[in-house]
Structure 1
Amino acid sequence: MLTENVFRNRAAVISNAERSLLEGAISHVQTYPAGSLVVRQGVPVDISTLLVKGLMTRHVDAPDGRRHPVALHVPGDFVDLHAYALKKLDHDVAALTDITVAVFRHALLEEIQATEPGLARRLWFLTLLDAAMHRQWIYRLASLNALQRVSHFLCETHARLLAIGASEGHAFPLPMTQADIGEVCSLTNVHVNRVLRELRESGLCNVRGANVQILDLKGLVERARFDPHYLYLNPQTAARAVGHTGNIL
């Protein structure tokens, strides 16, 4: 099911009936090649998209032409649910890789809000989760040094992929270039290369091509000052995200 990963391993659960309703609200499924603008800043929209496959970004373009990402989205994310309420966005939404999205027309989301208050609250949870991750994004760029920023980003991505079953716990796919990681962490390519080498030589993780191999998750979490509380994962997934594998009550 296309919406299977939306609430998987989250603190907010969704029933089979609610999942079926959400599936039924999908208008169509669409693909975009890497680099495509899916939603353009300031343009009125009457749809929202759920990411099924690939990676997407939300970003703001500076006057000098530089792109400033403000969010990275993984499969299962309801990327621009904000557009349902705002009707146009103050940033661009783009495909970082080749992507597949499920498209929801706002008219059907309006029906869900009117007739299914429980499901509407769960969709609201997703927009609040986006806000929580954005606050952590600001903290990462404002308060952490280069090594900590990259480590924190890798820990966060690992935790989010754990939540949708896309990480094995010690390795996960990351189809991003060093330039992409640099934009996300506000670092130059040279700086990112130096940090990744230090992480590898320290025995914490190895980023090679489009894959990340975690060599010492607890050490990486400590280096990153990472706490997954803001991702609102269930206790079991949150524990795995920081390297705790014992029983969780």
Structure 2
Amino acid sequence: MTAVLHPRFAARRSAARAGTWWGKAWVRAVEEAAYAVEDLAAGRRLSRSGRIGQIEVDAGGFVAAVEDDGGVWTVVGAVPPLGEEERDALVETVAAEAGRVAALLAGELPHSLAEHAEEAGVELLPYGGELGTTCTCDAWADPCPHALGVLHQIAWLLDADPFVLLHLRGLPREELLARLHGRQGGDHQAAPAADPLAADPDLAVALDAVERARRVVELLEQDAGPADHLF
């Protein structure tokens, strides 16, 4: 599996709250994991300070650098990845209802998908005790404010793209699409698939819309001027 390096967030004047139901569920897990309210408040301040570097997400964990007045620290986090049988069950759950893949590609995590996955024995959203972190700072609390800052920014990543959650759980976008494509092709697939989206034009349209939206966000963050040409 390939790690994905997500762009760093610029400084924000006000607290950015998770806006989606799954982003809010992630934040609840972060709050459960925190040792003290003061640590949570410090973590939120760091999350919007612009002093957290790019977050690298891979199956089962993440890593990021965090700067404060005391120096630069490295935060490493762990989220339990799904086992092979759980990943198979999740793929079946996604394929069981039309429109679920298109919803994921459009940045939505259907509540019914999470519910049906849970019924199949697959817990997508972690609880507080599953969020493990370490930091190179000398704080005794785990997670420390640096780790809590990174965890809050991950909620923003989840808000924008639920595939980040699936990636952390061990099923990144490319693998899910490839498995779905292979499932549709069955034993009749004679050659390697050139494009998992080729068999479904609706998915291709959804993915194109997502990529355009991401590019607009990048240009706005870089203050690159009007992005009307992307529409």
- Identify whether the pair has TM-score above 0.5, normalized to the shorter chain: no
TM-score (norm 1): 0.30
TM-score (norm 2): 0.31
Q: Using CA pairs under 8 Å that are at least 6 residues apart, name the structure with larger relative contact order, 1 or 2.
A: 2
Structure (1 or 2) with the greater strand fraction: 1
Structure (1 or 2) with the greater helix fraction: 2
